[in-house]
């Protein structure tokens, strides 16, 4: 986890201009698109990936042993692509309907969103759906509040192109497994009243409450949690023993609390306070390229309450770029400079 943190510190310490971060975002999006295509045709079910053995019950995608993590990687880059589209759309202004990089960025966002859906991750599907149906319209009506007339033709062009791409790729893609997975989760929820990971959250909560101030220590979850997991009836076999040992809580915030305690969370709370100030700035009118990033971070944080995300270097590296870009877009705002002038 030190690599993404060092990457973020380097981006902040270098005081990079927005155009440099935009270039880095394009590199990330292009790499994700290439990986999405390659990974779609390389989904091994046995053997090893980068020296790690593929578990029997795991469904891999490229170099991701678990497809859910590939879905998160794709929607993080889809959010970056959406922010790039907003950036170039604002710069194009009246010329937006004539084409430009904003259409290419919108195309990349849609393609990455579709590949996120093809990983069969319910969380990824919900995130890309909210990005397209909530965050994007909110960005248009609030982020471009003073320039809606200028960018509206470009928005319609991008929306029509995106709709065509969705229909074309959706017609040839197979979402049957995703539908079966969604039905299975819905059936289990209707029968039990909770999702299938609720017992893990309950066990982690009890573990955290036993040492609320200092926690059990970083990396201790996989060794300490089985004692608490064994107390959950839904995780027991017919003989009352732990059926399957989970090495992660699939609730990143709760697992972090159990491992480092309230005292260990203080640096994180300070970072979240700093990030909250950037959120407030991003939600003001005149920051169309920052609003998708703010929405993306909120959705990622919500997704981390139901899945294992914050323990993988590729995801955190893209996340570091998202946070650095959000800060730069709000601190170096064209709207602020215009109003000051």
Over its C-alpha atoms, the chain yields an Rg (Å, rounded) of 21
Whose tokens are 């990349």? That residue is 108
Mean pLDDT lowest among 60-64, 70-74, 124-128, 172-176: 172-176
Measured at the CA of 306, the angle between CA 225 and CA 249, to 5 degrees, comes to 10
Decide: helix, strand or coil at residue 52.
Answer: strand
- Average pLDDT over the chain, rounded to an integer: 83
Q: Do the beta carbons of residue 136 and residue 82 sit within 8 Å?
A: yes
Residue 245, H or E segment: none
Q: How confident is the model over 116-161, as pLDDT tens digits?
A: 988 988 899 999 999 988 998 888 877 776 555 566 666 666 666 6
Q: How confident is the model over 211-232, as pLDDT tens digits?
A: 999 999 988 999 999 999 988 8
Q: Which pLDDT band, with edges at 50, 70 and 90, does 46 fall under? A: confident
* pTM of the complete model beyond 0.85: yes
* Better pLDDT: 33 or 19: 33
Structure tokens at 119: 């990983």
Cα 67 to its chain centre, rounded Å, is 14
Structure tokens at 309: 């995300």
Q: Cα–Cα distance between 73 and 75 in angstroms, integer? A: 6
Q: Cα–Cα distance between 194 and 196 in angstroms, integer? A: 7
Instruction: Bin 179: left if φ > 0, else alpha if -120 < ψ < 50, else beta.
Output: alpha
In order of 27, 82, 83, 151, 232, the CA distances from 89 in angstroms are 19, 10, 10, 7, 52
């Amino acid at each position: 986890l030190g690599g993404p943190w060092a990457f973020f510190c380097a981006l902040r310490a270098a005081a990079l201009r927005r155009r440099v971060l935009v270039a880095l975002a394009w590199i990330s999006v292009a790499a994700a698109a290439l990986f999405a295509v390659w990974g779609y045709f390389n989904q091994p079910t046995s053997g090893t990936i980068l020296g790690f053995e593929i578990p029997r019950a795991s469904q891999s995608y490229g170099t991701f042993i678990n497809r859910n993590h590939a879905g998160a990687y794709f929607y993080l880059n889809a959010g970056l692509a959406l922010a790039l589209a907003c950036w170039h759309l604002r710069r194009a202004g009246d010329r937006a309907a004539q084409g430009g990089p904003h259409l290419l960025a919108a195309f990349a966002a849609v393609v990455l969103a579709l590949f996120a859906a093809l990983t069969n991750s319910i969380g990824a599907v919900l995130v890309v759906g909210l990005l397209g149906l909530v965050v994007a319209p909110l960005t248009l009506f609030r982020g471009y509040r003073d320039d809606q007339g200028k960018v509206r033709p470009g928005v319609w062009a991008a929306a029509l192109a995106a709709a065509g791409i969705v229909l074309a790729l959706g017609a040839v893609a197979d979402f049957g497994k995703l539908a079966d997975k969604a039905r299975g989760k819905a059936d289990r929820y209707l029968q039990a009243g909770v999702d299938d990971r609720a017992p893990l959250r309950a066990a982690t909560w009890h573990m955290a409450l036993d040492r609320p101030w200092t926690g059990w220590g970083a990396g201790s979850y996989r060794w300490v949690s089985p004692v608490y997991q064994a107390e959950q009836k839904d995780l027991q076999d017919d003989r009352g023993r732990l059926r399957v040992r989970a090495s992660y809580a699939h609730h990143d915030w709760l697992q972090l609390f159990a491992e480092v305690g309230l005292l260990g969370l203080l640096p994180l709370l300070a970072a979240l306070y700093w990030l909250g100030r950037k959120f407030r700035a991003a939600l003001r009118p005149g920051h169309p390229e920052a609003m998708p990033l703010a929405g993306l971070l909120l959705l990622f944080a919500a997704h981390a309450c139901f899945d294992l995300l914050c323990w993988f270097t590729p995801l955190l590296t893209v996340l570091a770029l998202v946070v650095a870009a959000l800060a730069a877009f709000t601190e170096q705002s064209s709207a602020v400079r215009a109003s000051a002038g």
